[in-house]
Structure 1
């Protein structure tokens, strides 16, 4: 009985909005501490940060314990990939990193604690899940983009290698140059250099920019937006289904009315 009461209290605590906001605040504080450690600090400040980091680690351990104990079905807790990720990060953060051979790994693990923000905030989870579900479609666009890059890099190497070997010497360097063109990083300097020898080479760059920076990138944005909208509709449908299951149906209400009528008739008789 005490166990059930403790579980109910922890479940109420883990679903409390104030508790969630406090956890988010601690995660933000942990992220700020990671940035502060990159600066040269006085010895006293480093000691205070070390103590604060230890306190944050203990808080995360308590928080994950509250979430685990508050779960009705303990095995269901570990069926969620985010719960497994949070648990692994918290447990690995307990490894002491000061003056040890695993100091670098320990610091990297503490950097990943910032990702716990995704597991806490549902909207961030939805965005990341949408991105993961869009990866198969994005893979085909990436393959097609690679083909376009390869064709244009081969053309660029053939015509422009003698003009500037640093940019067009071989197909791999040419692909890097084209990536620079696609991101508009001083691409006009590259174009004007080749136009001095091939006046019509502007068509080469403009057609490449149109295909990659405009067409393909907009296709990527469209796919991600469509998948995100599908995820929102699924979540809305699940919420509506859950609310409908908690509310009595029309047949149930009619049955209750019939029972009440029967009781009233019995009382009148």
Structure 2
């Protein structure tokens, strides 16, 4: 029974069905934000939402039944459990805010779709390198914010009047949001301010932020290489098994040939086994 359940849960059609349920549930949760749709089809949306939740719970219980002690060892199983547990939490009193978290069920696509799982695994693999880049970016932002506050605080106090304000303005500049108007506002009083903004944008936008992409791309390549190595190991194991079976088959064929030669020699060595006994020998070979 457990093996049948495993085959059913891991079947490709069942996985596609779960993906369809997740997409349908995400669509219904989105439609619940439209008052006109809720007024006309609110009961139907609730039924679909509850049905999807029951399907997710049944799938989770089936996985627990199949994997047993191995279930908590898989991080994706823990992820699915947390998502379903949030959906099962009561929506009354102080926990009513959890109702809005039902949309987190759409994140179950990350654990169901293999390509998305590889992307998330690559991002997690890149976290150590990304943390170093975040530290570098924070240091650059802090130094630039202190300089901008001292240089341009009196000129544009609403932009650089304090350290927190300067940090927000420089973060806005780093993302390319209206940085031209910010620079021109300061340049009306400080014509050489373009040098500061140009250097800041070059360092943050074109150097540090691109390092994020480099780290993520490197992690994606490592993830793909690990997947290819796993596939190669599986293919090598299959090839070794086939070669071992062929070797055993050749050995059996060789042994059968040796036995046949011994039988032919015994028959030939019997009195009357040669010449006229050929017909009897052929008949005995036919029987064998």
Q: Fold match, TM over 0.5?
A: yes
Per the alignment, residue 63 of structure 2 pairs with 67
Match of 2:43 among 47, 62, 65: 47
Classify 1:259/1:114 alpha carbon distance in 2 versus 1 (closer, same or farther; 3 Å): same
Aligned residue number for residue 134 of structure 1 = 126
Aligned to 2:95: 102
Contact 1:61/1:91 (CA < 8 Å) preserved in 2? no
CA pair 86-205 structure 1, distance change in 2 beyond 3 A: same
Partners in 2 of 1:119 and 1:244 — Cα distance? 28
1:145-224 alignment to 2 at 5 Å?
Answer: 145-224=137-216
Aligned partners of 1:27 and 1:116 also within 8 Å = yes
Q: Which residue of 2 aligns with 1:80?
A: 74
Moved more, 185-194 or 253-262: 253-262
Once residues 81 and 189 of structure 2 are traced to their aligned partners in structure 1, the CA distance between those partners, rounded to angstroms, is: 61
Counterpart of 1:119 in structure 2 is: 111
Distance 2:74 2:187 in 1: 57
Q: Secondary structure at the match of 1:246?
A: helix
Aligned counterpart for 1:267 among listed residues 260, 263, 274: 260
- Corresponding residue SS for 1:199: coil
Shift of 1:237: 0.7
Q: Residue 5 of structure 2 corresponds to which residue in structure 1? A: 10
2:228 to 219, 228, 236: 236
| Aligned mates of 1:176, 1:101 — CA distance in 2 | 33
Residue correspondences, number: 260
TM-score, normalised to structure 1's length? 0.90
Distance (whole Å) between structure 1 residues aligned to residue 103 and residue 68 of structure 2: 28
Structure scoring higher RCO (CA < 8 A, sep ≥ 6) equals 1
Give the Cα separation in 2 of the matches to 1:29 and 1:192: 49
- Report how far residue 192 of structure 1 moved: 0.9
Greater Cα offset, 162-171 or 82-91? 82-91
In the alignment, is the contact (CA less than 8 A) between 1:34 and 1:111 conserved in 2? yes
Q: Deviations over 1:200-256 (max 9, x none)?
A: 111110110000110111111011100110011101111221232233264553343
* 2:27 alignment counterpart: 32
Q: In the TM superposition, what is the alpha-carbon distance from 1:165 to its structure 2 partner?
A: 0.6
Q: Show the counterpart of 1:3.
A: none
CA contact under 8 A between 1:130 and 1:224: conserved in structure 2?
Answer: yes
Tell me the distance in 2 between the aligned counterparts of 1:148 and 1:89: 37
Larger radius of gyration: 2
Higher share of residues assigned helix: 2
The Cα RMSD (Å) is 1.8
- Unpaired runs of 5+ residues, structure 1, are 1-5
Residues 163 and 101 (structure 1), Cα distance of their counterparts in 2 relative to 1, 3 Å cut:
closer
Q: Is the 8 A contact 2:110 2:117 kept in 1?
A: yes
Which stretch shows the higher mean deviation, 77-86 or 246-255? 246-255
**Structure 2 unaligned blocks of 5 or more:** 263-288
